[in-house]
A and B are shown apart, each in its own frame.
Chain A
Amino acid sequence: MVVKDRKVVKMGDLTLTIEGTWMTTWKDGMERGEETRVRIIIRWAGQKAWSVSFVADEGTLSPYAGGELARQYGAAMADRHARHFLRWLGLCFKDDACSLFNSLDSAYLFNPEYRQRPGAVDTCWRLARVGVIASTLAIVFNQLRAAVCKSFVFEAQNYKRYAPLGIFAIVGECLRNFANAGGKELDLAAAFVELAEKRLKEVSVGGVG
């Protein structure tokens, strides 16, 4: 069984499709395990799309296997991991390395600092796993950052207006809001303008007050 969940983020010439896929895995002719994979398809206007992916979760088959519940469970898992990725991407933009690190750690438990006597095999395995996710994050972060820099936001007039608010921090917040809301498609440019204008209004009201 394969269940997919797609979320699309558009910014200028770039379209990112974050695709969470939950699937059952087979061994010896039997459905024995499950795996959730996150694939990010990067498409620049007029260019061939390419993708990067990682396995976000794997394990033994859930007790829901084989019925409608499995489909619902798979959809929830696919959605959950796609949203996790968007949240991490948001934290990259906010340049909040502490929260990003803690969030990755709470998902994959690779930092032994807060755990009692973790084994080296376990820690190394978890570190290697989180490393794949971090590499993917770095690639997607750079692509989206390039798209933001090429967009209208960095035109002189807009830049002057929005720069004091922290352009990338606002992009990060838009991504986080989108992940929390559980939407399917985000027009990042529109969301950016909406949030930035709201912030500007708050600042000017605060300033007058």
Chain B
Amino acid sequence: MEWVEKSARFNNLALTVRARYRRLPFFGEPSHCTEIKVVLTLDGAERSIVRVAPFRYPKTPQSAEEEAKRAVRRFLRWLGFALADDTPQLIAELNAEYAFLPTNERSLPSLDCVAGLGGIHDVFEPFFYAFAFLLMAIQAWRNELGAEIEMSALRAQLGERLLQFAEQDADFVDLTPKEVSADGVSVR
């Protein structure tokens, strides 16, 4: 199947998250996988930074396209929570996907715990690239502007917008703030 994608732009950084569900060309478990691909392009350069990772090995989904869309949404949501520095929520979302947190209510086999944490490691390479580049782009934009913008407030707002974008049907969003309030706290 083709890749499903959503793109976001922040100033000179274009971030595209793609996902596809596919059956792997060998027998045995797991024989299918959802892959995630992150493409980062700075200043519209011809060359991009591309990272691909297995997102997860799901149970056979109802529809390959739905599974790919869900992976893109989930990945963007993680980015949103990371941008907003909302780590408890980020961990909760990661746990919903990889089930690595043992709780009092749920007894978890050790192998599931380590396999879940290992799965996070696989998908974290593209995630880290995307997160780090977004942070750098935000910092660079703030320096260019020269205004006293409070970074944590800006990140929280951008995180919120990314979360909204993840849930929308739109394929593209420009996150670059158009206006900055006098106190430098809110942006639009």
Chain A: interface size category? 20 to 34
- B residues near A123, Cβ cutoff 8 Å: 87, 90-91
Contact with B along A105-124 (1 / 0, CB 8 A): 00000011100011111011
Binds A, one of B19-27, B110-118, B176-184: B110-118
Q: Are the C-beta atoms of B94 and A127 separated by less than 8 Å?
A: yes
Contact with A along B71-110 (1 / 0, CB 8 A): 0000000000111111110110010000011100001111
- A residues near B109, Cβ cutoff 8 Å: 95, 97
A121-B131, A124-B124, A127-B124 as given contacts; A95 in contact with B87, CB under 8 Å: no
Q: Are the C-beta atoms of A120 and B110 separated by less than 8 Å?
A: no
- B residues near A97, Cβ cutoff 8 Å: 102, 107-110, 112-113
Q: Are the C-beta atoms of B87 and A118 separated by less than 8 Å?
A: yes
- B residues near A94, Cβ cutoff 8 Å: 110
Interface hub of B107, B113, B116, B120 (most chain A Cβ within 10 A): B113
Is A128 positioned at the interface, with any CB of B under 8 Å from its CB?
Answer: yes
B interface: dominant SS? helix
Q: Are the C-beta atoms of B110 and A95 separated by less than 8 Å?
A: yes
C-alpha gap A123/B113 in the complex (Å) = 18
Chain B: interface size category? 35 or more
- B residues near A132, Cβ cutoff 8 Å: 118, 121
Q: Are the C-beta atoms of A92 and B111 separated by less than 8 Å?
A: yes
A97-B110, A100-B114, A134-B117 as given contacts; A120 in contact with B94, CB under 8 Å: no
- Interface residue ranges, B against A (CB under 8 Å): 81-88, 90-91, 94, 100-102, 107-122, 124-125, 127-128, 131, 135
Contacts A121-B131, A124-B128 given; 19 further ones with Cβ under 8 A? A97-B107, A97-B112, A101-B102, A111-B91, A112-B88, A120-B87, A121-B135, A124-B82, A124-B90, A127-B121, A128-B125, A131-B118, A131-B120, A134-B113, A134-B115, A134-B118, A135-B114, A138-B115, A141-B110
